[in-house]
Structure formats: structure tokens, C-alpha cells
Amino acid sequence: MSKKKQSGIFILIFLVFIYYISFQLNQLQIPILQEDYLYLAKNRQFVLGFEGEYATWLWIQSQMSLHHKVFSGAIFPKMFELYETITDMDPYFYDVYDKGSWYLTMVYDSPMPGIQLLEKGARQIPQAWIWLLLGQMYRLQRWELERKEILSQKQALERAFLAFQRAILLSPGTELAENLKSFLENPGGQLDTMTWVRLYCQSLENPLLATIFLKNLHKHILSIHLEYLAKHIKKYKEEFLRWPENLAVLGIPGILAPDETQASRIAIALYKLPKKYKEKEAFVRRYLLDCIANHASYPYIYDQNTGKIESSFLPKRKK
């Protein structure tokens, strides 16, 4: 047997030995009962001004419990209360929010406890990093939230955007916006009209962020208008058994597209609507079409041979 093979076998045996010893030591460790944790979490009369140190000690104990759960399947149903206590004593305990939110997701087999911990933190400490963590949680867990019928992917994506927006507005400079730019421009999902409008209008103090949201809003407006025109083109074809020779024969308003400047004016007009109207998506879409009809100035590209309708502002569809 070659020396290389002998070395490989020796390393493998050594790793198995280390794992066995670690497992046996873990079995010898006395498990801390959930009642013990509840006592630790609820009784702070002996802290005597050492809240930060006590919070750190509780965090270490929670790591030990999590380790015990991973190795032996121990149940730890009160971890959320423990993390709440830690963050009450030390609201800026980054690791609890960063790692603890994902530990909660694993222990409770649901994203919501982790999200609730981060939302509590966001209410306590108005800093960019906590909103960034919350946005990432909504973004990465949107499929799981939908699978468990807690939120739709669209709702989770909307909350992710709102959290990222808050993080960027609280963060000095443009570094965070630049880092999130790729996702914000291509989120991999659709938001409703008023969400884009709010994101844009509430970000006007941050030019980079406002530009990103305006581009998304512009694409959203164009997609609604193209959908509207395509529906009427199809209806014409079904009635007359041929494609319309031009868009004018459809007999509908709104055959011009807005540019980004015009989309900005449309957004501000929508943002100023009374709340009772903004909450009705059908009214918003109708209002949006009327705004486009009155404020747009660029023709759509229509092919009378195929009935396809496109905008010069959007990339051409692949054939």
C-alpha cells in the first residue's frame, strides 16, 4: 500500500475517532431543561447592572442548547422567549439577530419566529443593519412563507423591498444601495402598482434609490399598458378574423407610452390620491391607464402581421 493511501486511511480513522469522542462528550453533558431557561429568562433581579454580560451568558447557553438539539434531537420550545430577554437587555446584540433569527427558523420549523425577532429589533433600534437583516429574511424565505401559507411570495417580496428601502435610507452614503442594486432592479417577482409608487415617492431624498424604483415603476406601467393593448388586439382578431392594421382602429385611448420623467409625474399623482382609492387595485389600474393616455408621448411598436405589441423602452423579447 502506498504512503499516500496509508495517510488517507489514517486521516479518515482520526476524523471518525474525533467525531466519536465529541458525540460521547455531548451525551455526558447534562441537558438544561426548558424550565431552567424560563427561570433564567424571566428572573433578572441578580443582574445588578451587568445586563450586557448576562445577555452574553444567556446567548452562550442557548448555543449549548442548540448544539444539544442538533446532536440528540432535544426539544427547546422556549428559545424565542430567551432571545427576547437577551435583546431586551442588550438591544444591539448583533449575533442574536443575525444568527438567532435563523436558529429560530430551524427550531420552530417556520420563518415567522425569526422574522418576529427581527421586526421587534427594528422597532427598538432604528439602524440600517437590522432592517437589512429583516429584508434578507423576507427575501430568502418567501418561498417557505408561501409553502406554509403564511404570506404569498408577492407579499413577502413587498416586505423585503420596504425593509431594504428603510435600511438604505438609514445608511449614510451609497454603498448599501449599490450592493442591493442588482436585486432591487431584478427582484424575480412582481409588486402591485401602489407598492412601486410608495417605494419611489418615499425615496426621493435618495437619488440612487429613487432612480432604481423609478425604473421598476416605469417597466411596471409599460407592462400594464402592453397587457391592456394586447387584450384589445386579441379581441379585434377574434371579431374580425384578422389583425388590426394599426392601433387607432381599436377605438381605445392610451396608445402612447410614457418615458421615465412622465412616469414620475404619474407616480406622484397616484401617491396623492385619497387612501380609499389607493387601496383599490382596479381603480388604480384604471387611473393609471387614464394617466398614460393623457401624459404619454411615445408610440408603441406594433406589427400588423403578427399582432405583437412592444415598447422601445423595454428590451425586445427573444423569439
Q: Which three cell numbers stand for residue 82?
A: 430567551
In sequence order, the 6+-apart residues with CB closer than 8 A to the CB of 7 are none
Q: How far apart are CA 244 and CA 183, in angstroms?
A: 39
Q: How far apart are CA 318 and CA 84, in angstroms?
A: 51
Question: Residue 294 in contact with residue 256, Cβ under 8 Å?
Answer: no
Q: How far apart are CA 99 and CA 97, in angstroms?
A: 6
**Using one digit for the tens of pLDDT, what is the confidence trace for 117-168?**
999 999 988 899 999 999 999 999 999 999 999 999 999 999 999 999 999 9
Question: Residue 187 in contact with residue 195, Cβ under 8 Å?
Answer: no
Q: How far apart are CA 166 and CA 163, in angstroms?
A: 5
Asked whether residue 300 carries a pLDDT value surpassing 80, the answer given is yes
The pLDDT value recorded for residue 34 is: 47
In sequence order, the 6+-apart residues with CB closer than 8 A to the CB of 305 are 243
Q: What is the dihedral of CA 86, 122, 172, 181, to 10 degrees?
A: 120
- Please give the C-alpha separations between residue 263 and each of 96, 218, 292, in angstroms, as whole numbers: 42, 6, 8
**Amino acid identity for residue 131 in this structure:** W
Helix (H, G, I), strand (E, B) or coil at 256: strand
**Using one digit for the tens of pLDDT, what is the confidence trace for 70-107?**
556 666 667 888 888 889 888 999 999 999 999 899 88
**Using one digit for the tens of pLDDT, what is the confidence trace for 240-252?**
999 999 888 888 8
Q: Which residue has the higher pLDDT, 68 or 155?
A: 155
The pLDDT value recorded for residue 70 is: 59
**Using one digit for the tens of pLDDT, what is the confidence trace for 9-51?**
767 776 765 665 555 545 544 455 544 555 555 665 556 667 7
SS3 per residue for 281-302: HHHHHHHHHHHHHHHCCEECEE
